[in-house]
């Protein structure tokens, strides 16, 4: 491998979720901020809720003139 071209790898990178959950893992960034984790994601919790990413739900509703 070529020297000095690879990013530094942190084995103790901290992940902070929007729900307040925090955990550590390995990453090339020291701090990662995420919106969903296994504690709050609907797939893992069994809840049925819409996850709106960048207004996609509203855009879909406007496009097909849905109410709600």
What stretch of H or E contains 27? strand 22-27
Mean pLDDT value of segment 43-59:
69
Number of folded domains that form the chain = 1
Structural domain of residue 38, as residue ranges? 1-47
* Domain CATH for 10: 4.10.80.400
In a domain, 54, yes or no: no
In a domain, 61, yes or no: no
Closest CA to 24 of 38, 13, 37, 32: 13
To the nearest whole number, what is the mean pLDDT of the chain?
A: 82
Residues 15 and 24 sit within 8 Å (Cβ to Cβ) = yes
> pLDDT confidence of 40, banded at 50, 70, 90?
confident
> pLDDT confidence of 66, banded at 50, 70, 90?
low
Structure tokens at 47: 């809840």
In a domain, 40, yes or no: yes
pTM (two decimals): 0.57
Q: What is the pLDDT of residue 49?
A: 64
In a domain, 60, yes or no: no
Structure tokens at 15: 């992940």
In a domain, 53, yes or no: no
> pLDDT confidence of 39, banded at 50, 70, 90?
confident
């Amino acid at each position: 491998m070529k020297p000095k071209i690879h990013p530094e790898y942190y084995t103790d990178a901290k992940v902070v979720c929007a729900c307040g959950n925090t955990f550590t893992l390995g990453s090339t960034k020291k701090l990662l901020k995420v919106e969903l984790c296994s504690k709050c994601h609907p797939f893992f919790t069994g809840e049925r809720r819409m996850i709106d990413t960048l207004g996609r739900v509203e855009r879909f509703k406007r496009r097909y003139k849905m109410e709600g």
